[in-house]
Structure 1
Amino acid sequence: MNVQELLCFGTVPGGGNAALVVQDDHSSADQRQQFARERNQPACVFVDAAPDGAIVLDYFYPHARSPLCLHATLAAARVLLSPQRPLLTVRTALRGQQLTLTLVDDKVFIRLAPQTPPGVALAPDLPGRLLAAPGVTLASAPTVASVGSPKLLLEVADAAALHALTPDLAAIAAWGAQHGVSGCYAWCRRPDGAHEGRNFNHLDPAQEDSATGVAAGALTVHLGAGLTLYQGGNTGQPCRIVTRRDGENILIGGETAFRSTT
């Protein structure tokens, strides 16, 4: 087993959302889940070779296996790509979703297509119940969008409102499990034209994500335009995700850096 640790989407040296990229591993899904739990990093991605020769990415959080994790994919792209191999198509283990990894001017990007989200009826009181803020007034209508891991998108008034949120994480987890949605993403527009967000998909508030690439992709689908998205202010790991539209597809990228090899 070869394990490499990378920091993704960071805005400063030594910052970003950590991911472990694991190669040359032949353990079972249960063993991989145990590994992710013991390492207790935001995400682990196992790089496998399928019988047909394809490269398959298998994602694990400490608490669950995931169909898609884009910051872990970005980490895998940094490991797998080189000037000699600047383009690589991979697929995900759980759903067989195809992703294209690209290296442009020493920057890595993930190209992927929007996915059809679950058809979920959103009750008027749902945002208030999930955010533990009865009567909350959103800046736009809530919606569900997806690039492979559906998110409930909730636009709040501004950054102050965003950082003040103390949502009902158990209610979010229960609602998401019932409807096939991977938590909710609260976001706002910034005066500088960028966006800022927080992802709520863990029962433990200490596990809040510093960067959520699938949410950035979902928000890009929803808004119909590329964006710069800041996240991680609440976790002490400020991150920046950049997305672009590429025809019907979406490019998602950001900074990547190796932290250690074990």
Structure 2
Amino acid sequence: MPTEVLRYTAFAAEPGGGNPAGIVLDAEGMSDEEMLSVAQQVAYPETAFVVARTHDGARLRYFSPAAEVPFCGHATVATAVVLAEREGSGTRVFSTAAGDVVVDTRTAADGSVQVAMTSVEPETRPIDPVRWERLAAVLGLVVGDVDEGFPVLESFAGNWHPVVVLADVELFHQFRFDPAALAALKREYGWEGTVTVLHRTAPLEFEARNLFPAGRITEDPATGSAAASTGAYLRAVGAVSPGSRVVIRQGRHVGRPSVLLVDVPEVGGITVTGGATPIA
């Protein structure tokens, strides 16, 4: 029997925006090879597979066209929207390879679903100087390009992401990179998420470019795991106060404008809020 794949876009700021995800609701019994094959055929940044239903939610696995990834935020949000549309809104717990993720869904009067996704316990760590030197070389950056007060760190909220904040807006928009070289570096260092490059546009607003070379994809339009990791990063460097809501705009460099709302509590998981809609 052919596998039914639902297609949704998450975090869209306007029609045609957001990050597309595949969702397979009945993946119990599918092999790793079958899931990877489906993800390759779908050819989105990630496809989420519901491999089991639990008493309070579901167990999910995620595949990009290249490999399995521990966690994918936008596909999690899309899956939460699908389940809310079919089974009703409320709170669910999704079990993932990165840990348990809580999704709270609310349905508006117009039928649209909003999802507040709270990450696993985040971590940050200084980036090894050699790692930063090699990453900067691939991105064509030098130390002086980094915004003062925003040290380069690795941040985790489901996946490890190097986080780089650039001071100059023109450099942020115009830098180039070699996708093959970056993909090799990511594999070597275990960066299973994106390389997150930010520019601050207001005290609590950032524009993001999330670099994710996988197959034909080089840059992610909207990255929930990176948004959560960004919230953890900003908390770690003291750039936000507890209870702040950070607005992250992403995707215009690839023609898919997106908005992610990031709530940063004093401690614990970071909450990323957004919605998802079917792709015609």
TM-score range relative to shorter protein: 0.7 to 0.9
Residue 268 of structure 2 is matched in structure 1 by: 248
CA apart distance, 1:113 = 2.8
Residue 234 of structure 1 is matched in structure 2 by: 253
The question of 1:132 aligning with 2:140 is answered: yes
CA apart distance, 1:249 = 2.0
C-alpha RMSD of matched pairs (Å): 2.5
Q: What letter matches 1:254 in structure 2?
A: G
CA apart distance, 1:204 = 5.7
Residue 116 of structure 1 is matched in structure 2 by: 123
The question of 1:173 aligning with 2:183 is answered: yes
Q: What letter matches 1:16 in structure 2?
A: G
Residue 209 of structure 2 is matched in structure 1 by: 198
Task: Judge conservation of contact 2:124–2:233 (CA < 8 Å) in 1.
Answer: no
Task: Judge conservation of contact 2:49–2:62 (CA < 8 Å) in 1.
Answer: yes
Distance 2:274 2:88 in 1: 21
Deviates more, 1:142-151 or 1:17-26: 17-26
Distance 1:166 1:196, change over 3 A: same
CA apart distance, 1:172 = 2.6
CA apart distance, 1:221 = 0.3
Distance 1:169 1:190 in 2: 26
TM-score, length basis structure 2: 0.83
Task: Judge conservation of contact 1:45–1:72 (CA < 8 Å) in 2.
Answer: yes
CA apart distance, 1:3 = 2.2
Q: 1:107 aligns with which of 114, 118, 121?
A: 114
Structure 2 matches for 1:206-221, cutoff 5 A?
206-221=217-232
Residue 42 of structure 2 is matched in structure 1 by: 39
Task: Judge conservation of contact 1:210–1:232 (CA < 8 Å) in 2.
Answer: yes
Distance 1:162 1:70 in 2: 24
Q: What letter matches 1:173 in structure 2?
A: A
Residue 160 of structure 1 is matched in structure 2 by: 170
Distance 1:88 1:117 in 2: 27
Distance 1:24 1:128 in 2: 42
Distance 2:41 2:185 in 1: 27
- Structure 2: 5+ residue runs without aligned partners? none
Deviates more, 1:233-242 or 1:182-191: 182-191
Q: 1:11 aligns with which of 10, 13, 25?
A: 13
Distance 1:255 1:212 in 2: 13
CA offsets 1:157-200 (integer angstroms, 9 cap, x no match): 14322111102333332332222223421101014741011111
The question of 1:184 aligning with 2:195 is answered: yes
Q: 1:98 aligns with which of 100, 107, 132?
A: 100
Identity across the alignment (%): 24
- Structure 1: 5+ residue runs without aligned partners? none
Distance 2:262 2:143 in 1: 32
Task: Judge conservation of contact 1:44–1:59 (CA < 8 Å) in 2.
Answer: yes
- Determine helix, strand or coil for the equivalent of 1:90: strand
Say which structure is richer in strand. 2
